[in-house]
Amino acid sequence: MSANASERLIEATRELLWERGYVGTSPKAIQQAAGAGQGSMYHHFDGKRELALAAIRRSAAELRAAAERVLGTEGTAYARIEAYLLRERDVLRGCPVGRLTMDPEVVADEELRAPVDETLDWLRGRLAGIVQEGLDAGEFPAAPEPAELAATVVATVQGGYVLARATGSSAAFDTAVRGLLALLAPRTAR
């Protein structure tokens, strides 16, 4: 089989991990979703764990790229954080990376957990840098520690996903985001 089979296997695993978690994602389900046979799967990957790691790394890279597309733009710190918080998301599905923190098999496996930790650390660090820019410009209403405010932004997004999934409505996510944006509103906007 070709690299195309490898790509199909990774993409199928990404989707299944997002929907079912690691335990709920069987090799047979991956093969069926990818339209690939057992031989193809084991030709490209040593097993489910290696394939899951490739899928988690891909999801982590895509999350970073999506965040950077809005965080790396021109504009005020507030505008960039606002763009990040308001960017289009599949709220009811949750975060494909954040959801893995609720998977006991992923959390217990240091190698599987590493791309999740690295991505969330990267996101907090990237946001902390933007918060520092806003503080330096006198943009924010208070003087929070950049790392604390960055953690609050990430927690609002991840917690918003949980609330939305629990209620079956994106309204809870939207309410959390609006509340945080109101707290962060620049002094000149008040």
Structure tokens at 165: 């999934």
Instruction: Work out the percent of the chain whose per-residue pLDDT is above 90.
Output: 75
Confidence bin at 188 (pLDDT 50/70/90): low
**pLDDT at residue 1 is higher than 50:** no
pLDDT at 138: 87
Confidence bin at 44 (pLDDT 50/70/90): confident
Confidence bin at 79 (pLDDT 50/70/90): very high
pLDDT at 141: 67
CATH number given to 3-189 = 1.10.357.10
Q: How far apart are alpha carbons 28 and 48 in whole angstroms?
A: 10
**pLDDT at residue 2 is higher than 60:** no
pLDDT at 190: 44
- pTM for the predicted model, two decimal places: 0.89
Pick from 21, 27, 35, 75: which is nearest to 51 by CA?
27
